[in-house]
Amino acid sequence: MLWYLAWRVGHKLHDKIEIHFLIAGHTKFSPDCGFGLIKQAYMKTRVNTLADIAEVVENSSPVSRLNIPQLVGTAEGKVLVQTFDWQQHLTRHFRRLPQIKSYQHFSFEAKRPGVVLAKSHRDAQPVEYQLLRDGADLPPVDGLPVLAPPGLKIDRQNYLYEKIRPFCADEARDITCPAPRVTTQKSPQKRMRMCSNAEAVTPPSSGPHKKKRRSQTLPELHTDLRSNAPAQLQAAHVINLLRKVLASVQLSLHLGSKDERMVESRRGQTTHISPCQSP
C-alpha cells in the first residue's frame, strides 16, 4: 500500500496523502456501522446470486444511502472493473520500509517523490525514508499488467453443484451453481486377483516401484471377495481371515494373562530385611 500511495503522489495525482492505522485493540470506528447494517439486512434476506448481494447492500441503508454497492464483475463473467498486478509493477522500483509494524502514521507529499514520513504515534518525530530504489525512477502510469479472473477450480465447481445447488432457488441454480465446465474422468477401479493359497488379496503389480496397497478392513475385504472371486475362494478367504482374527485375540489374551500372573507372583514375594546391629 505504501508503494501505491507513493506512486500516486509521485505522478502528481495527489498533492498529499496521509494514512493512519488504528492501535491494536482499538479498531472499531465509523465504517463498522455500515457493515453492521449490511449484516442485519443480510440475515433477513434470501440471497442466491451476486445481484442479490448488491441488492442487500443497497437496501441496508435506504434513507442515509451510507452503503452503495459496486460490482467488479457479473455472474456471467463480464469484468466491470479491471484488476491490475500492482505487486509486479512496483516491486522493481520500490524497497520495503524497515520495521514497518512499529509505525502508525504515514504521509506523502508531491514535492518529495518516493519519500514517506512515518511516525510511531501522533506526537512522535517523523522518520524520513526514501522508498524508491532510484529517487528519479518512478514506475510508469501506463503498461500496468492486467489480472484476468482465474475462475473457480474444478473441485470447487463440483462442490457448488453437488452440495449447494439443492439449496438454491430454481431460477438461480444455473447462475450460482451450474454444471461443472471441466469434467475429470475417474481412474478405472483396479480389479483384485486372488492368490492360489488363499492367504491375501493383492492388486496386480505393475513394476518394481509399485506402491504398496494399504491394509484393508474386514468389510473392505469382504466386498472385494464378493465381487471378484469364485464362491469356493470366497469361503476359503473368509475362514482364513477369521482364523487370523481369532489367533490375534488369543495371543493378546495369553499375553494379558501372563502379565497378570507375573504381577500376582510379585505380590506374593516377601522381602526380608535384617536389622542393623550396633557394634
Q: What is the mean pLDDT of the chain?
A: 77
Q: Which pLDDT tens digit goes with each residue over 15-27? A: 999 999 988 877 7
Cell numbers linked to 162: 453437488
Band the pLDDT of 150: cuts 50, 70, 90: confident
CB-based contact 107:11 (threshold 8 Å): no
**218: pLDDT strictly greater than 50:** no
Q: Report how far residue 55's alpha carbon sits from residue 52's, in angstroms, rounded to the nearest whole number.
A: 5
CB environment 238-251: b (16+ within 10 A), e (fewer)? beebeeeeeeeeee
pLDDT of residue 253: 58
Q: In the predicted model, what is the mean pLDDT of residues 2-15? A: 92
The answer to pTM > 0.75 is no
**259: pLDDT strictly greater than 60:** no
**254: pLDDT strictly greater than 90:** no
